[in-house]
Structure formats: C-alpha cells, structure tokens
C-alpha cells in the first residue's frame, strides 16, 4: 500500500478496524501497512478510539508493548439499545402480528439487515466477556440473528437442522419436546460440524418454556461441547417461572401478555436491560 | 453531535457511510450533523472516496446540487474477488467434501462471517446496476448468503420454507421437481411476506439443473412478482447445457467434475468472472 496522508490513513484504518471485529491487529502490521511510525499510528488510534466510544460503536482496546496491538470490540450502549428495542416492542405489539398459539409474526422484522445488525451488536455486547468458540442456532428463524451476532463477534455459525435428513455424513440426532405444543420433534447436527469441547453461544428468535433451546443443550452434550451462553430475541413471559426449563439466558424483549380474542399483546424490554454489560 | 475536528470527522463519516450502504445521505444532513460547511464536507468526501476506491471497498457517488448527497455502493474489484474465490475453489476440492449424489460439503465455509461478507460484496457487485426490492432464498443453506448480500445492498430478505407448515397466516405453496433427485417437493411462502410487483433477487448456495430456483421463480409468479436476477455460490457444470432450466444467472464457482470413486473434484471460477461488472 502506498504511503498515505494522515487524513486518508484515518479513513483507511477506520474501515480496516470496522471490518475486522474481535481481531488483534499489531501496531507493527499497521505501521508496515501505512509506512508510518508507530507513534503516528498510536495517535491515529487514539482519535479513532474516541470517536468509536463517543458514537457508541464499541471499544478499541490497545495493548502496549512489543507484542502490542489493537482490537475493536463492537458494542452498543444501553441507551441506544433501549431506544431501538422500545421501538421494536411497539412494532411487535401490532395486533395483526398475533398468530395462532400465541406466537408473533416477526419474520418481516428479522428480514431487515439494519435491525439485524443492531440486534447482533446487542448480543455481542451481552456476551462480550464470555469465552466463545462458535454460535449455534436451529433453523429457520434464528439463523439471521445468529449470523448478525457472529459478524460482530468474528465467530463461526453452526446450524442445527430440524429433521434427520442431514446429507452431510454421519450426524447426531436427538428428540426433544417443544415446550409450546408438547410434540416430540427431532433435531440433528452433522458430526463434523462441531468440534468436541467447543464453547457454544446459543441464539434463537423466540423462547417459551425453552424446549427447543434445551434440545440444543442436550445435543451439545452429545458433542462433549459446552454452553457458553443463551440469547433470545423475544421470550414469552406468559409462564410461571418454574415452567422455564433453565434460567440463565439473555432476552432483548419479553412478551408478557397475549389476548387471543382481542389480539392485544404487551411487549416489554427483556432481561438484557436489567443489568446491561455496557 | 458536538463539533468535531477534521480528523475525528473523517473517522465518523467513514463509519457512518460504511454502516449505511446504498443509502443517499444529503450533504445538508452531514453538514448539520457535524456543524460544518458543505464545502468542508465535500472535501472530506473526496478523501473518503479516494480511499474506498483505492482499497476496492466500493464506490462513493456524489450528486451535486441542492438535492445533492452521497451514496456508498459496496463492491469488490475483480482481482480481489478472483483471489478469494480461487482459494475457495481449492478448499472446496478437498476430497472429504464429496457427499453422496455429487454434492459438496460446504456448510463449514458458509458459517464463516468473513467469507460470507466477501461473497455478499461479490453478489452486490454483480447486481449493483439492477433495480431490486427484495432478496429471496429457500431454507436452509442459502440463508447466510442471502443476508450477506442484503447487508451490502440494504435490502430486506424473504425466506421460502421447504414445507407447508408455515404458521404465519395464509401461504402460497407450490410443488417443484428438484433437478437432482427428480422428487416432487413443496415450498411455501406466507402471503404477507412479499408485496405484489416486487423485483426479486434470488440467491442460493448450490445449483444443479436449477429445479429449486425454478420453483422460486414459479412462486414469484404466484405473487405477481418479478425475477430481477439469480445468484448462486456454486453451480454444478456437470450437465449438458440443455438440461439447465434457465440460462440467466451469476455463479461464483463451478463444479466441473466429480469422481465419486476417487472423490476427486474440479472446481473453477464461475461465470461472474467471465464478464465482471467492476
């Protein structure tokens, strides 16, 4: 790369960092890339850090010393997250979204790349301090949320199939009982899709009693892998808490009441906002 | 936002543009946001434009005049795309990827957010000049590709289900014959998921004869919607061309030979590289 003026270098470094979240970049690499002194690079990074943090884009951690470097950790500050999720809650309360069984139509919202990027940053904020190797979800609606989170955290995604028609070599299948309709269902994952001992963040779109997520946890057990966290976009809070299959999860929104006759719902902020990690 | 120094403003504008692809931002909005003269904003944009174009990040179009503004169009230059896809082809040729029926295991690669972002930029480059309202794919493996493309093009995604268990109100189902195994299958889309007259870009991971994509086209017809383009990650070129159900598509890679006994495959660059739109 040719030697850049400082103004161009700032633009270049900004895009370079934004496109490589959760990746340690050595100051030497930057100095070589821009044919500049490390001291100039450090000054530039200080400017970028201030803007990123002021804008609530996340944190820029600089490690000093010979092995030093810089890492961009995308985060969202709690005020911005609250503003976005309050608007999401109002949209989810539209009566035409109520589906049979007390489910909510939210596929249209999960199709919007801008909102997904925001949700990904919220989950990345919630789980920033956890040691995670891979993000897992089950087809179909959780997939975009898992990828949006993965993009912010620089992690691979593994998708569990809802049948046993996996055509990808040997697979592990388990049966699980979906909490909502009490039916026995099957989910499968190709043996080669997940390494043993992986630390796994489970992401899904909607959780009632948590049977589907419990199924993913049981599947992880078969792979000798570990649950590093559970994040759901919307939880249904319409149950007695003893009916919930597990307690340790992060939700961004909570459906607290559905009246199937009037199609009135009440949706409030999820437990992410009880104790935000920002 | 408080008034920023020029260096900080460049960082801020860079992130603002990168996070809002395919969106016209008026110079007035920038001038207000940064409490700066439009002439300064224009100078900053010229610097950003030069870096983006030199780095192959895409184009920054500035429209002059009172209604003027700036729009960032993510693209990838053909040399970078070629380098990435040649490495992808070598990885896809690994013998352990050959699955029964001449399919390729590529789920692991489609789980990598960095590669997905690159592929998204390639499809965004291929279809940059098309008028598109929405991106469509069919579950499951095409979903991350569709979202990666959508993120670059600032478009919503619609996912067709492979069954008729759609729980999202009235749905349209069609039967289609998958070209590879000649079985009749069903795909469905909720009526409310797609507006009439939408111009739709179809994205999928793998195409043999094209039966699944033809099915999506038939489904679009039921919605009075239009095909604006078809993009596939890997096409199988193992057929006589008269067996292909349609001709107008963009592929990034092409499987030209599979030997099921030796598990040797040959994978070359797709037709995207015959006449790249960069």
For A17-30, b/e burial (b = at least 16 CB within 10 A) is bbeebbeebebeeb
- B36: its two tokens: 């700066």
**With an 8 Å Cβ cutoff, are B140 and A140 in contact?**
yes
* Alpha-carbon distance values, A263 to A99, A102, B74, B106 (Å): 9, 9, 42, 43
The pLDDT assigned to B278 comes to 47
pLDDT per residue as tens digits for the range A137-149: 999 999 999 999 9
Min distance A248 CA to chain B CA atoms (Å): 26
Question: Rounded to whole angstroms, what are the CA distances from B9 to A9, A104, B5, B44, B199?
Answer: 13, 42, 6, 8, 37
* pLDDT band, residue B240 (cuts 50/70/90): low
Looking at the predicted structure, is the pLDDT value of residue A55 above 80? yes
Least confident of A48-57, A113-122, A254-263: A254-263
Average pLDDT over residues A213-226: 97
Report CB contact under 8 Å: B144, A147: yes
What is the rounded radius of gyration, in angstroms, for the C-alpha atoms of chain B? 21
Summarize pLDDT for A16-40 with one digit per residue, the tens.
Answer: 999 999 999 999 999 999 999 999 9
- Candidates A51, A75, A94, partner chain B, best to mutate (most B CBs within 10 A): A51
- pLDDT tens-digit readout, B71-130: 999 999 999 999 999 999 999 999 999 887 777 899 999 999 999 999 999 999 999 999
As a whole number of angstroms, the distance between CA B5 and CA A121 comes to 27
Measured from the Cβ of residue B72, the count of other Cβ atoms closer than 10 Å reads 25
Mean pLDDT along residues A163-177: 83
Q: Which residues contact B19 (CB under 8 A, 6 or more apart)?
A: A117
Q: Which of A34, A103, A78, A63 is nearest to A260 (CA)?
A: A103
CA-based nearest residue in chain A for residue B149: A113
Pairing of strands A157-160, A134-138: parallel
Contact by Cβ (8 Å): B133, B200: yes
Interchain pair A111, B158: CB under 8 A: yes
> What per-residue confidence (pLDDT) applies to B173?
94
Rounded to a whole number of angstroms, the distance between the first and last alpha carbons of chain A is: 36
Q: Is the pLDDT of residue A278 over 50?
A: no
Domains observed in chain B: 6-74 (1.10.10.10), 78-273 (3.40.50.2020)
C-alpha A132/C-alpha B255 separation (Å) is 34
CB A59 within 8 A of CB A73: yes
Categorize the per-residue pLDDT at B150 as very low, low, confident or very high, splitting at 50, 70 and 90.
very high
Least confident range from A216-220, A231-235, B207-211, B225-229: namely B207-211
The pLDDT assigned to B277 comes to 54
Mutate to test the interface with B, among A7, A40, A102, A185 (most CBs of B within 10 A): A7
* Residue B213 Cα, gap to closest chain A Cα (Å): 19
Cβ pair B100:A12 closer than 8 A:
no
Question: Average per-residue pLDDT in chain A?
Answer: 92
| Residue B47: pLDDT over 50 | yes
Nearest one of A116, A137, A119 to B157, comparing CA atoms: A116
Instruction: Give the residue with greater pLDDT, B100 vs B270.
Output: B270
Q: State residue B180's pLDDT score.
A: 61
How far B246 CA sits from the closest chain A CA (Å)? 26
- Work out the average pLDDT over B261-271: 94
Distance from the Cα of A22 to chain B's closest Cα (Å) equals 12
- Count contacts between A and B (CB, < 8 Å): 143
**What are the residues facing A199 on neighbouring strands?**
A226
Compare all CA atoms of chain A with the CA of B157 and give the residue at the minimum distance.
A111
Mean pLDDT, chain B, rounded, equals: 92
Identify the residue among A113, A118, A135, A156 best suited for mutation to test binding to B, counting B beta carbons within 10 A and taking the highest.
A113
Closest partner CB to B140 (pick from A15, A50, A159): A159
Q: What chain B residue is nearest to A137 in terms of C-alpha separation?
A: B111
Q: B108–A193: do the CB atoms touch at under 8 Å?
A: yes
CA of residue B151 relative to chain centroid, distance: 8
pLDDT at B178 (0 to 100)? 78
Distance CA B213, CA B254 (A): 17
Of residues A10, A57, A155, nearest to B10 (C-beta) = A10
Residues comprising chain A, all counted: 278
């Amino acid at each position: 790369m040719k030697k850049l003026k400082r103004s161009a270098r700032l633009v270049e470094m900004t895009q370079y960092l934004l496109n490589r979240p959760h990746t340690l970049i050595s100051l030497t690499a930057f100095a070589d890339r821009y044919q500049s002194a490390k001291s100039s690079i450090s000054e530039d990074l200080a400017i970028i850090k201030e803007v990123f943090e002021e804008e609530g884009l996340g944190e820029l951690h600089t490690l000093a010393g010979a092995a030093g470097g810089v890492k961009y950790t995308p985060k969202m500050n709690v005020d911005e997250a609250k503003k976005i999720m309050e608007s999401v809650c109002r949209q989810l309360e539209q009566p035409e979204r109520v589906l049979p069984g007390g489910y909510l139509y939210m596929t249209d919202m999960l199709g919007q790349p801008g909102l997904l990027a925001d949700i990904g940053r919220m989950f990345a904020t919630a789980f920033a301090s956890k040691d995670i190797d891979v993000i897992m979800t089950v087809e179909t609606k959780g997939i975009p949320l898992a990828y949006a989170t993965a993009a912010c955290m620089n992690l691979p995604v593994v998708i569990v199939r809802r049948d046993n028609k996996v055509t990808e070599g040997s697979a592990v299948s388990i049966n699980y009982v979906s909490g909502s309709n009490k039916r026995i269902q099957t989910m499968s994952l190709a043996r080669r899709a997940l390494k043993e001992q992986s630390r796994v963040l489970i992401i899904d779109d909607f959780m009632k009693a948590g049977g589907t997520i419990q199924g993913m946890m049981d599947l992880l057990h078969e792979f000798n892998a570990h649950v590093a966290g559970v994040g759901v976009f919307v939880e249904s809070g319409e149950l007695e808490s003893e009916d919930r299959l597990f307690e340790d999860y992060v939700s961004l929104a909570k459906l607290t009441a559905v009246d199937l006759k009037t199609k009135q719902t009440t949706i409030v902020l999820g437990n992410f906002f009880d104790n935000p990690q920002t």
